[in-house]
Amino acid sequence: MSEITPAEWTAILLSLRVAVIATLVATPFGIALAWLLARRDFWGKSVLDALVHLPLVLPPVVTGYLLLLSFGRRAPIGAWLADNLGVVFAFRWTGAALACGVMSFPLLVRPIRLSIEAVDRRLEQAASTLGAAPWQVFATVTLPLALPGILAGMVLGFAKAIGEFGATITFVSNIPGETQTIASAIYSLIQTPDGDAAAMRLVLVSIVIAMAALIGSEWFARRALQRLHGN
């Protein structure tokens, strides 16, 4: 099989950039939400939980269309962000990152929530009797003990983000060099008469990235167990 072409490299690098940014921006929100769901009881908790998982079960085209309706250039949130912060999502790579972030959010939150739930609350109580304020308990006990789970969630979210297709193409279309990720490049290539070889190269690249991410996630999950047992 021949070399990867510059156009294909563009799609690969764009995919990596979109997935990395989506994961990094989503993680703080993911941790906050996972902590809320794991540690707090409040009115509407099950609704919030369902809302977080919604992108997992909705048709991706629906999520993409909803993003277009709210973050498009003339949509309420999109117009406000463009006018006040100069942030534009529509038909930009930033929009692809937003779509990937939203679509991978449930996969990011779940391992983090599980790892926070696994942190022994009695250790948190012990920390508070030693003088740690609630935020210090979180920073010095909960977060470090949940860290492997957080990393596992990030890797899983990244893997999902890099393979996202439906919401991205609906929201920001399929523009080479701007919003054409690996997935949408493959989609274009298999509709082109001589695109098979190029499509196959990108298919292999996406399998390699996804496998690496899943193996990484598994490795972090094992580390989490060791850490919780204090060895």
Is 69 a binder of other proteins (CB under 8 A)?
no
Q: Which part of the chain contacts other proteins (CB under 8 A), choosing from 51-59, 70-78, 169-177, 223-231? A: 223-231
* Smallest distance, other proteins to C-beta of residue 39, A: 15
Q: Which part of the chain contacts other proteins (CB under 8 A), choosing from 7-15, 26-34, 98-106, 222-230? A: 222-230
Task: Give CA–CA dist 36/223, Å, rounded.
Answer: 24
Q: What is the maximum span of the chain, computed from C-alpha positions, in angstroms?
A: 70
Residue among 75 and 224 whose Cβ is closer to other proteins: 224
Is 222 a binder of other proteins (CB under 8 A)?
no
* Smallest distance, other proteins to C-beta of residue 156, A: 22
Q: Which residues, 103 to 122, sit near other proteins by CB under 8 A?
A: 120, 122
Binding mask 117-156 for other proteins (x = CB under 8 A): ---x-xx-xxxxxxxxxx-xx--xx--xx-----------
Contact positions toward other proteins, by CB under 8 A?
A: 120, 122-123, 125-134, 136-137, 140-141, 144-145, 227-231
